[in-house]
Amino acid sequence: MSTTASTTAPAPGPAPAATARALGLAHYAARGVLEIVLARHGATFPQQIALRAAVTAETPQTPDDLVAQVRGSLKADPAGIRAVLDELRAKALLVDDGEHLRPTDAGRALLAAVTAETAPISARIWGGIPAEDLAAAGRVLALVTERADAELAALTA
């Protein structure tokens, strides 16, 4: 993994159209970067998603609450998400507290370390993109997510 940001300007001409393939390639490229960082810390992508949900929650979460949140993000099977929660318990990153699961200091520290390590990488990836381009991309991605969620709901109903 290179730590030098590309300074190559886009080729002149019309901008490429956003497509499902382009979206997927961007997602997997960014996820690949994150997964390398997570692996250095002994964590997986699903574990990070679940831990972030627990750490950023405004109120204590039950296991069912976390399963629902992670499912909303990953569109994963609830049984697999419960297994991820068990992995986080086994690593002492989440702990049972009555009916709730709470992040431990170690869980918060892991998330903080991953965030700190990925921040400069994210800055290189996202840096220099004009605000209006980010706003347009954000609108398109929100609409694609909404439509894909609706299609997923129809397929699984």
Structural domains counted in the chain: 1
Is 78 domain-assigned? yes
Is 22 domain-assigned? no
Is 135 domain-assigned? no
Is 139 domain-assigned? no
Per-residue pLDDT of the chain (157 residues; tens, 9 = 90+): 444 444 455 556 787 888 999 999 999 999 999 999 999 999 999 999 999 999 999 999 999 999 999 999 999 999 999 999 999 999 999 999 999 999 999 999 999 999 999 999 999 999 999 999 999 999 999 999 999 999 999 998 8
> Distance of CA 61 to CAs 11, 49, 98, 112, Å?
48, 14, 11, 20
pTM for the complete prediction?
Answer: 0.85
Is 47 domain-assigned? yes
Is 88 domain-assigned? yes
Three-class SS of residue 95?
strand
Is 136 domain-assigned? no
Is 79 domain-assigned? yes
Domain range for 90 is 38-115
CATH number, residue 105 = 1.10.10.10
